[in-house]
Chains A and B, each alone.
Chain A
Amino acid sequence: MLEPDFDAFDRQLNAAADGRMRVFGIRRCGQHAVINWILRNCGRDDQVFLNSCTMGRSPIRLCGQAEINMEPAGRAWRLKRRLESALSGGMSPFVLISYEAGYPPELYAEGSLTNGFVNSDFDAEVLVTRSFVNWLPSFIRLMRLMNPDSPPEALEISNGIIFEMMRYKAHLIAASESGHLVISYDQWFFNPSYRRAMLKSLGLPCTDNGHGDVQIYGGGSSFSGHDMPAAALEINARWKTMRDDPFAKRFLHLALADEGFMDALSQSYPNDMAIIDALLSE
């Protein structure tokens, strides 16, 4: 869909950019930690980050939020005015555009994901995934935080979780089949040399390979918000919270019934299988 008020400016941003990347994930997969690290290492003085954009539409008009040089810059008209003034001053920014509904192979093949940009404009497409056993408890918490009026075990909560499990599965399978760079948040978090290797794959210099700060997007961590420094997050121990939680374990049972999903999971996160077995046999 062409958006006349924004189309020309989407193109103008593309023309002015020095380096462009897209990042795809689903909610609670550590996407914003990875994005912030890419921005810190992008090797350019200026960056524009368009977060949580709507697929197939103008990223300037329909991003959730934006940052210019790591500072909040609004969205839609306000963002457009700020960008216009920055670009007219000669800025040539690194542009990072993110999507949070998983990687969409069909839209990618059509080349119409980002208004004003074509696939070949991007230096890299980055797909972020996370181990299922740690993602699930995090997402269950998010659903409950987002639906404070529903009891924690209500059908609408279960349905929201199952919908996102469907997305998790599709994203995981699409990621492994896409041929793009896949970053595992779990490995990224615990292994500095993995991060260095990923920067190399992205063609970026390594200037700040730390975890960075917990990001504001999505309220930070589902478990501790912004109360704990990023390095102290126990992102690989979230599965332990399911031990005494039959409600959470039933989602594992239901996931286990989906053979295609479990095949993909055992390829990408082999340790998950043993953890699921252990949790369900307790």
Chain B
Amino acid sequence: MSTAFDTISRDLKAAAPAALRVYGVRRSGQHAVINWILRNCGHDNHVFLNNCRTGESPILSCAQFEIEGVRKRGAKVLAKTLAKRLEQGMRPFVLISYELGFPAQAYAENNIATGFENTDFDFEVLITRSFVNWLPSYMRLIRDKNNAVPEDGIDNLRHIMLGIQRYKAHLADAVTSGHIWVSYDDWFADPVYRLRKLGELKLVESDNSRGEIQKYGRGSSFSGTSIPAADLDIGARWKTLVGDPFAINILRQTREDRAFMKNLIKAHPEDAAIIEGLVKDE
């Protein structure tokens, strides 16, 4: 089976006029950014392999995929569709995404995706989001997912802290790795920032809007897919932390990590004052 997938990987690489990989942690606006890249990719066709597993074949391990705008799941369906369409001469723009942060070690070992080399990709794109707005969104995700355990119990705490540690590692790589780095907050707020990032990605603007709320991860943690993207209050999620002592104690403990705070202030400078405001009165 894996041989068949290797053949398809090879054919896909050979056919693709351009390819890139996108990395984020969950709740960092990754799918909004990905959708915008695809709308501006400059090719008639694209193949998007979502939420792949590091160290495995992205064709085999992706959670969902999109070919020519149609979203499906299942490795066999993907293999069959790809084989057929590539034979018919499709030359798709390829985008592969990872949701557990940038895997620095696997990248150094050139071992992120079997069937592909680092050099097969034009760009690696790392997406980050301001911590004070990411944390409430991520906490909501964890609390909703584990609704059988108490909201503020140790089990949820453990998951949230692991997510924060992943956020920390990903942020450090975004700030220091030299790959393309997109701040979701800036991307969301500023069309000029988006234009500049399209330039870095060597893409030509064809639709610089924020697009529609994506279905991956069920849209927004706060409003699902029920309100238009432009109305999302993504910069104000931190206000939900006010009066949540559980969250404030998590914030206080995280703030003790100096290396993390240094990178955070570099990447999302507005976070510093918001955090200080939230943690005072201990």
Contact = CB atoms under 8 A, between A and B. Distances in A.
- Say if A and B assemble together: yes
B168 A260 contact: no
Given A155-B260, A159-B161, A159-B165, A250 B253 contact: yes
B254 interface: yes
Contacts, number: 69
A258 B150 contact: yes
A44 to B, nearest CB: 41
Contacts of A159: 161-162, 165
A255 interface: yes
Contact of B153 (A153, A246, A258): A258
Contact of B154 (A158, A165, A246, A253): A165
A135 to B, nearest CB: 14
A91 to B, nearest CB: 44
Contacts of B158: 162-163, 166
B145 interface: no
A115 to B, nearest CB: 29
Contacts of A155: 161, 164-165, 168, 254, 257, 260
Contact of B155 (A151, A154, A166, A255): A166
B74 to A, nearest CB: 32
Contacts of A253: 245, 249
A153 B161 CA distance: 14
B282 A246 contact: yes
A166 B259 CA distance: 26
Contact of A257 (B152, B162, B164, B256): B152
Interface in B151-173: 152-155, 157-158, 161-162, 164-165, 168
B153 A154 contact: no
A255 B154 contact: yes
B278 to A, nearest CB: 14
A166 B162 CA distance: 13
A261 interface: yes
A254 interface: yes
A21 B155 CA distance: 31
Contacts of B161: 155, 158-159, 162
B155 A257 contact: no
A167 to B, nearest CB: 10
A71 interface: no
A142 B50 CA distance: 40
Interface string B244-282: 011001101110111110000000000000000000001
A247 interface: yes
Interface string B1-24: 000000000000000000000000
A110 interface: no
B162 A259 contact: no
A27 B249 CA distance: 25
B259 A257 contact: no
Contacts of A153: 256-258
A262 to B, nearest CB: 10
A165 B164 CA distance: 18
Contacts of B155: 166
Nearest to A257: B152
Interface string B123-163: 00000000000000000000000000010111101100110
Nearest to B151: A257
Interface in A92-118: none
Contacts of A260: 150, 153
B229 to A, nearest CB: 32
A157 B253 CA distance: 10
Contacts of A258: 150, 152-154, 157
Contacts of A247: 253, 256
Interface in B212-248: 245-246
B245 A162 contact: no
Nearest to B152: A257
B42 to A, nearest CB: 40
Given A153-B256, A153-B257, A156-B165, A250 B249 contact: yes
A141 to B, nearest CB: 16
A163 B155 CA distance: 9
A255 B157 CA distance: 10
A162 B254 contact: no
7 contacts: A155-B161, A158-B254, A253-B245, A254-B250, A258-B153, A260-B150, A260-B153
Given A246-B252, A260-B153, 9 more contacts: A153-B257, A155-B165, A155-B260, A159-B161, A162-B154, A257-B245, A257-B249, A258-B150, A259-B150
Interface of A: 151, 153-156, 158-159, 162-163, 165-166, 169, 246-247, 250, 253-255, 257-261
Closest 3 pairs between A and B when the two form their complex, measured CB to CB: A153-B256, A257-B152, A258-B153
